[in-house]
A and B are shown apart, each in its own frame.
Chain A
Amino acid sequence: MESTIIKSIGYNAYFGTNHVVKNVNMEIARNKAIAVMGPSGCGKTTFLRGINRMHELIPDATANGQILLDGEDVLEMHPIFVRLKIGMVFQRPNPFPNLSIYDNVIAGYLLNGIKLPKAEKDIIVEKSLTKVALWNEVKDSLVKKGSFLSGGQQQRLCIARAVAMEPEVLLFDEPTSALDPISTSTVEELFHELKRNYTLIIVTHNMQQAARVSDLTAFFYMGELVEYDDTKVMFTNPKDSRTQNYITGRFS
């Protein structure tokens, strides 16, 4: 039984007059991991940032079309609601440097001014850190600043921070490109766990990664969604010649 959680209908995104995402139509099913790949500058990150309305934080950036989240158009909603439902993890780990590890996990509550009893906070912190396999590593140093962790740990902390808000969708913008190979594999393993509770959309420029972690793969080229299919099909039997060129390494 597959239900659609995100549906993009004729979505366009612009930087000023520069048309970077062109007429994207895409349906994303609940509790799947979707990889979005393509050469740099193809609009994949912009599309991702469009889903939770981060795109418009950039001056001069505009968008039109529809992105439906559970049937509701996120472009019509206030960005705050969208972002509470759609969490995001960035290319570089960005824990809040002024907060402890503990506070970083519940940053979404803390900094939004949502007051929770201590017991509940403890549960959220433990649950979130366990989900990202970080609990055992940091449970004794929760009061330390988040910036003391290693890069991979920081990135998992950022995932925990997003997970703690219990969103429905998690967006990953090249989440491992700033990490070493070991940390990368830890994060990739996480994806399999996270998929049970959340829908994952992962932008990556690494084809192997896309093949390893995703159920479906979308290929963007020059702002267009060229092909969107089952990952296996995509890598073994791509329909579009541009996809074929990309996965066989004919694009620089």
Chain B
Amino acid sequence: MDKSLNNENITRSSLKLERVIVSDKTSSIVKGAKRIRRSQQQIRTESIFKNTLVIISIFIIVVVFAILLTLFWQSIPAIKLTGISYLWGKVWDPVKDVFGVYPFILGTLLTSFLALIISIPFSFSVAIFLGEYFPKGTLSDLLKNTVELIAAVPSVIYGFWGLAVLVPIVRGFEAQIGVQTIGLGIFTSSVILAIMIIPYAASLGRSMIQMVPSNLKEAAYALGATRWEVIRSIIFPYTKSGLFAGVMLSLGRALGETMAVTMVIGNTSLIPKNIFSPGNTMASVIANEFTEADHPVYLSALIELGLVLFVVTVVINMIGKRFIKGFSNT
């Protein structure tokens, strides 16, 4: 470095006229030397930083695999005891070490699908309302914000509201149609779940509907199609997979939802007789019984339930995500 600096001075100093430039250059070279020393430090930090990013990303993967492995590992005692019959055993009696989760799987499926059936007409309506009829304006802002608000309410609060308000209403309804009047049960849980999942399907559906290219719609309008016909023959086919993804993601959420359901489902390990019976879902059993599990196999059986829940929700979610991806790729 020093040598080149000298050389510079010698060659340049022969040209007196350029003295100003010489001093300029020299200072820049000295500065450059300083800069280079700093830069060596920077290069070290750079590689540390790059490695940190990689390590953290690997760490995320490790966490997810560790979750799966832990669940599996801890389920082994229960798997050894009950084997595959765990899934369709109809009796759950921890005192006698009998673990059959059929009632909970049935409870989970009943609540989730009932919730879907209740929510779909509403969430699709809101999606079409916001996506097609009123994409802008005060009315749509109001609706959009309300839907967002509903999504933000914690589930434990929904559960509390359900206990305080919905349960008495359902009880009255049950008295009228002449079934057992408990109020708590599958139906009540489904209504609360429906309320909780409406925003998901609605906001996803809205964004999908807004992505329909306007030239497609215009082409149909130009042929004399009515609004309804455009929605039916252009928007629905175009957004089909997106709407389906919305339904899947809501289903995933309904399956895994714990608190609100735990509070209003009635918590019984018996197989529900009808949709008004009390029951239990996989998530609510874990929430209710986990801290009471007094021996290892019982604990392990609950963890195995967690594993089943994990696998089911992840599969449902992945299907939903696949469909969204497929949609945005087209």
- Chain A positions near chain B (C-beta within 8 angstroms): 78, 80-81, 84-85, 112-114, 166, 197
Contact = CB atoms under 8 A, between A and B. Distances in A.
B53 interface: no
B35 interface: yes
A80 B28 contact: no
A78 B36 CA distance: 11
Contacts of B16: none
Interface string B14-37: 000000010000001001100110
B39 A84 contact: yes
A113 B45 CA distance: 12
B50 to A, nearest CB: 13
A80 B42 contact: yes
B21 A84 contact: no
A166 B38 contact: no
A81 B46 CA distance: 14
Give the secondary structure class of B's interface.
Answer: helix
A85 B39 CA distance: 12
B19 to A, nearest CB: 15
A197 B22 CA distance: 11
A166 B39 contact: no
Contacts of A81: 36, 39
B149 interface: no
B152 interface: no
Contacts of A78: 39, 43
A166 B31 CA distance: 10
Given A78-B43, A80-B43, A112 B38 contact: yes
A10 B87 CA distance: 69
Nearest to B39: A80
A59 to B, nearest CB: 15
Contacts of A197: 21
18 contacts: A78-B39, A78-B43, A80-B42, A80-B43, A80-B46, A81-B36, A81-B39, A84-B32, A84-B35, A84-B36, A85-B32, A112-B38, A113-B42, A114-B35, A114-B38, A166-B28, A166-B32, A197-B21
Interface string B42-80: 110010000000000000000000000000000000000
A114 B31 CA distance: 11
Contacts of B21: 197
Contacts of B39: 78, 80-81, 84
A113 B46 CA distance: 13
Contacts of B42: 80, 112-113
Given A81-B36, A85-B32, 13 more contacts: A78-B43, A80-B42, A80-B46, A81-B39, A84-B32, A84-B35, A84-B36, A112-B35, A112-B42, A113-B38, A114-B35, A114-B38, A166-B28
A84 B36 CA distance: 9
A118 B46 CA distance: 27
B227 to A, nearest CB: 42
Nearest to B46: A80
Nearest to B40: A78
A81 B21 CA distance: 23
B300 to A, nearest CB: 46
A129 to B, nearest CB: 17
A128 B32 CA distance: 17
A131 to B, nearest CB: 12
A56 B209 CA distance: 40
